[in-house]
Copies of this chain bind each other. A is one copy, B any other.
Amino acid sequence: MVKMVEYEDASDEVRAVYEDIMAARKTDWVNNFWKALATHPDTLKRTWKAVKEIMSAGALDPLTKELIYLAVSVTNNCDYCIHSHAAAARKKGMTDEMYAEFLDVVGLANSANRLANGYGVPVDEAFRRF
């Protein structure tokens, strides 16, 4: 849909983000997602800033965050996102066994969500906090 922006053709503004991505990830290349977003530098900068803030260690560790991200991407069937974040999760320690268990949970939740919808299950009082 768009012509991706390669490093050689990038403006200084875009290059600065590319440099920051490579530094943060300790790699010497930038993946296609960012090269597509670079066609609109504001989107590139805002999205990268959000990714840096949100996906880094906090109360949750980075691998757990990758699995949460992947659960969304598998549910929505975003092929690019599944590939890129499965790679990121593996880099952070995800094994084949962990991925298989992860998919079991994603499948179960997608199924149980529809059983709850279809049976019209009312929320238990004990589950309401406020």
Contact = CB atoms under 8 A, between A and B. Distances in A.
Interface residues of A, number: 82
A7 interface: no
Contacts of A53: 42, 46
A121 B47 contact: no
B1 A118 contact: yes
Nearest to A67: B68
A6 to B, nearest CB: 13
Number of copies: 6
B126 A87 contact: yes
A83 B128 contact: yes
12 contacts: A1-B86, A2-B129, A40-B101, A46-B104, A58-B97, A67-B67, A74-B118, A75-B114, A76-B113, A82-B117, A83-B120, A110-B110
Given A40-B100, A60-B105, A81-B116, 17 more contacts: A1-B118, A1-B119, A1-B130, A3-B130, A31-B124, A33-B121, A36-B115, A40-B101, A43-B115, A55-B108, A68-B71, A72-B109, A76-B77, A79-B117, A83-B127, A103-B115, A110-B111
